[in-house]
Structure 1
Amino acid sequence: MRGFKEPGFNDRVAAASSAKARALEMLKNRPKPSEADLAERAGRQRAKEIAQAEKRAAAKAALQAERDAKEQAEREAAEASVAAAEAARPAAEAARPKLPTAEDMKAARDARYAARRARKR
C-alpha cells in the first residue's frame, strides 16, 4: 500500500491559482446593484452620519454644561470658604492672646511694686 503523497510546491501553486480564478469568476458574475439600491444606501449613510454628528454635538454640549456646572460649583465653594474665613476672623482675633503693650507692662510692674510695699508696712 502506498503512503499519502504530500502535494509539492507546484501542486500548491496550481491549487491557489485555480482558487483565485474561481473567486474572481464569482465576483464577476455577481449581480450589479441597481441605481435605486445605491441611492438608498447613500441615503442611509447620510442619515447615519447626520445622526452621529447630532450625537457628538449633544455629547459635547452635555460635557460643556457639566464643565460649566463644575466651575460654578467651585466658584461658589471658594466664595463660601472666603465668606466663612471672613466670618471667623473676629472670633479668631478675639481668641488670640493680646500681647501687652509697654504701658500695660509698666502698669503691672507698678502694681506689683505697690503690693510689695503694702506687704512690708
Structure 2
Amino acid sequence: MRESKVMPGFSDRLAAQAEARKALLAKFKPKPTVQAVEAEGAFETTAQKKARELEEVRARRAAEKEAQRLAKEKAEEERRIAMENDEELMLQLKRDERKARKAAAKADARAKRELKAQTRRAG
C-alpha cells in the first residue's frame, strides 16, 4: 500500500516527532556569545566600583575637612593679630584679669572668715 501525503503514515509521524524533539533540545543548548575585547580597566566589578566610589567620597571629605581646618587656623591667626594690634582691647583684658583675681581673693578671704566664725560658734 502506498502512503499518501495527505494522510501521513506512521513513519512520517515518527520523523516529525524526532525533528520536533531535536528542535526543542536545540533551544537548551548554549549559544556562542560575542565576547567583547576587554581593554585595560574597561569593565569593573560591582565590588571594584563600590570601592572606587568609597575612596572618592573619603578623598572629598578629607579635602573638605582640611579646607575647614585651614580656614579655622587662618581666622584664629587673624583674630590673634587683631587682638595684639588693638591696645584698648589689651588694656581691657588686663583689667578683666585683675578684676577676676581680686574677686577670687575676696571670695577666699570671705570663706576663711566664715570658717573661722563657724569654728568659734561650734567650739
TM over 0.5: no
Greater share of helix: 1
Higher RCO (CA-CA < 8 Å; seq separation 6+): 2
Normalising by the smaller structure, the TM-score range is 0.3 to 0.5
Return the TM-score normalized by structure 2: 0.40
